Amino acid sequence: MKNLFFALFIFVPSLLFAQGPRGGGAGGGEKMEARKVAFLTTKLDLSAEEAKIFWPIYNDYVREISALRKERVQKMISFRKLKEIEDLDDEEIQTLILNDFSFRQRDLNIERKYYNKFKTSLPIKTVGKFYRAQEAFKKEILQQFRAGGPPPPGN
């Protein structure tokens, strides 16, 4: 319980700061991130000392990944949104594909950057637990989405 309180104490102000004055619109992303923080807190069971190291790095990671994803949404036209690929010339198609590769590479570069920060600051087993917990969270959210069910009470 102490670890959960400590994690929320460190994380929530950073999350609110990252959302800006408008609070991130409807708050869906903020609520999901809060659920993820609670999930990670439970799964990682960090000591107070580990939490002091982990959460600031994690907050920076979330900010950087979120900024990249917002940029991607703002700058790119998704193939899924295009009605007819035939309406584009070859150069436009190639540009869309290469831009997508570029964003995915930048995403991977951020992942590697923060992996290195985590592994130089925390025990590798803790880092492994973090990556495993992230995947477990994604899987849980996907299962809930597929089941069409609401999130668990209290979230």
Give pLDDT, residue 12. Answer: 39
- Per-residue model confidence as pLDDT tens digits over 43-92: 999 999 999 999 999 999 999 999 998 888 877 656 556 667 777 888 88
Q: Tell me the three-class secondary structure of 52-104, residue by residue.
A: HHHHHHHHHHHHHHHHHHHHHHHHCCCHHHCCCHHHCCHHHHHHHHHHHHHHH
Listed by start position, the domains of the chain span 2-147
Tokens of 3: 């670890």
25 pLDDT more than 50: no
- HSE on the CB side for 13, CA within 13 Å? 6
